[in-house]
Amino acid sequence: MSKGTRLHPAAIFFNFIKVLRESIFALVLGFITFKGDSFFYFILVASILLLMLLVYSALSWYRYTYRIEDEELRIEYGIFIRKKRFISKNRIQSIDLTAGIIHRIFKLTKVQIETAGTGTGAEASLKAVKTAEGERLRTELKAAKIPTVNSIEEAPKTDHPSAKITFKCLFIAGSTSGGIGVIFALLAFVFSEVEQFIPERFYDNTIEWVVGLSILFLIGLIIIFLILGWVLGIAGTVIKYGNFTITKNYDELFITRGLLEKKQLTIPLKRVQAVGIQESIIRQPLGYVTVFAEVAGGSMDKGEDFSTVLFPIMKKDEVVDFLEKFLPTHAAGAKDITPLPKRARKFYLLRSVLPMLIIAGGIVYFLPQFSWVPIVLVAGSLYLGFLRHNAGGYQLDGDRLMIRYRVLNKITMIMYHKRIQAFEKSQHMVHRSQKLASMQISIIGKFGVGKHYKLRELEEKDVDYLSDWYSYRS
């Protein structure tokens, strides 16, 4: 492939939309600010600027070419100043394909290429190529890392394990996602921003009308909002994780997901720093968990969360088989976990209940008619503290460490000694008198940012033992 290839002409539209999105605030401000005769001139200037942006997008597309030559991806771009970027195949860590709604209409895909040095943005991003071309690029750029025919014949197992989420699991994931809380928080934020524009008389009349309603009507209204939030949570989960499929191909994992925007993520196994199992408060009684991985590097262009979901939801007793199939090194054995000492429980209860006592005092002072609320808050916080203490513990098996803790959801992290970047022991005066200590373990996470896991109030001798294990002290 010696001749440079241009992106699909749809890239002009994507470039234009990107620049327009960055300028949307100024355009909206202009529509609000300018009135009368000045509004006509604003429209004229805005139209000229939009035309210039469209021309700029077209020229950027025309001057952007790529080709594969001498084991490198070579990209040339720039309208007035020509820039060249050479990316060696050996430096490429992952190649992700993403197809939004417009991409899928025209059978296009976006190719994002990441290397070990990738930061906030991808090393290279081909915004619009034909889907077949994107697949061909990924195959050709990763060809050097696929085992040869001889090595495949010698391997004891050559199949590529795969798992796909069922609609039943997808529905359960949406129903128990807790997205309703996010929706209500978003609505509360929007209301707080819009409230200043609401006339005071209208606001007061609305409050009086709501207060005058019957209790049954208010309960019915709340139930309707809860059902609406529940439905929206299911819809959001189905859209995000629809057709979720994970496939292992030699030393990489391929994840495909999304109904409206189809994403194909590539995860090199050597970049997996830790594997996590999350049990939310809602899903734990039902026996369902989420399996995720902490992957080093990556870029914000992926649009992913700070942890990469390996499977959105599965039964807890299926996790070991899942890990044996896709990440056998992280499949934790049946060895018992070392729990937190019983004398540590008071620390967990105190930390959990103290903030609620302050909130409860404020409610009793300012809203005495709701004096029953503090009782519920304090009881709930005490129960949460009890759960946090019961969940805590660790398991050490050779070079593999598993720690378990709870903030709101119960998290189990499985990692190897060579992936741990730092180990910290901390103690205060009360800890020393009780022969307790806390530890913090750090690994590399997304975007090169550190991920920290803290386990509080362990036996002091256990923390010292783990510290010696990390430091290779006998």
> Residue 352 has what pLDDT?
92
> Residue 154 has what pLDDT?
42
CA dist 423 and 466 (Å) reads: 9
Q: Which one-letter DSSP state was computed for residue 392?
A: -
Asked whether the predicted pLDDT for residue 150 surpasses 70, the reply is no
Q: Do the Cβ atoms of 320 and 333 come closer than 8 Å?
A: no
Per residue in 263-298, pLDDT tens?
888 888 988 999 999 999 889 899 999 999 999 876
Asked whether the predicted pLDDT for residue 384 surpasses 80, the reply is yes
Q: Which residues is 126 bridged to in the sheet?
A: 111
Mean pLDDT for the stretch of residues 308-330 = 93
> Residue 468 has what pLDDT?
94
The pLDDT-based confidence of 121 (bands split at 50, 70, 90) is low
Q: Do the Cβ atoms of 431 and 437 come closer than 8 Å?
A: yes
Per residue in 341-368, pLDDT tens?
999 999 999 999 998 888 888 888 787 7
> Residue 322 has what pLDDT?
94
Asked whether the predicted pLDDT for residue 225 surpasses 50, the reply is yes
Q: What percent of the chain has pLDDT over 90?
A: 38
> Residue 149 has what pLDDT?
40
CA dist 356 and 354 (Å) reads: 5
Provide DSSP, 69-109: ETTEEEEEE-SSS-EEEEEEGGGEEEEEEEE-HHHHHTTEE
Q: Which residue has the higher pLDDT, 473 or 442?
A: 442
CA dist 433 and 438 (Å) reads: 14
The encoded tokens of residue 29 equal 């401000």
Nearest Cα residue to 293 out of 311, 280, 281: 311
Mean pLDDT for the stretch of residues 148-158 = 41
> Residue 1 has what pLDDT?
45
Per residue in 155-210, pLDDT tens?
344 568 999 999 899 888 888 876 554 455 455 545 554 555 555 666 566 666 66
The pLDDT-based confidence of 400 (bands split at 50, 70, 90) is very high
Alpha carbon of 124 to those of 22, 113, 262, 433: distances in Å?
A: 21, 5, 19, 56
- Would you list the domain boundaries of the chain? 5-145, 169-241, 245-340+392-471, 342-389
The pLDDT-based confidence of 20 (bands split at 50, 70, 90) is confident
CA dist 380 and 349 (Å) reads: 11
Query: Under CATH, to which class is 5-145 assigned?
Result: mainly beta
Per residue in 229-272, pLDDT tens?
788 888 888 888 989 999 998 888 999 998 888 888 888 898 89
Planar angle of CA 41, 44, 48, nearest 5 degrees: 140
Asked whether the predicted pLDDT for residue 37 surpasses 90, the reply is no
> Residue 206 has what pLDDT?
63
Q: Which one-letter DSSP state was computed for residue 294?
A: E
Q: Which one-letter DSSP state was computed for residue 166?
A: -
> Residue 420 has what pLDDT?
93
Backbone angles phi, psi at 104, to 5 degrees: -70, -30
Return the axis-axis angle of helices 10-33 and 37-62, rounded to nearest 10°: 160
The encoded tokens of residue 383 equal 């129960």
**Side-chain-facing half-sphere of 300: CA atoms under 13 Å:** 4
The encoded tokens of residue 206 equal 């609305």
The encoded tokens of residue 104 equal 């899928």
**Chain-wide mean pLDDT for the chain?**
83
What is the enclosing helix (H) or strand (E) of 253? strand 252-257
Q: 């005495």: which residue's tokens? A: 368
Q: What percent of the chain has pLDDT over 70?
A: 82
> Residue 383 has what pLDDT?
94
CA dist 268 and 253 (Å) reads: 6
Asked whether the predicted pLDDT for residue 436 surpasses 80, the reply is yes
Helix (H, G, I), strand (E, B) or coil at 177: coil
Mean pLDDT for the stretch of residues 111-125 = 74
pTM given for the model: 0.77
Return the axis-axis angle of helices 167-175 and 215-241, rounded to nearest 10°: 140
User: What is the chain's length?
Assistant: 474
Alpha carbon of 13 to those of 58, 134, 177, 465: distances in Å?
A: 8, 19, 35, 59
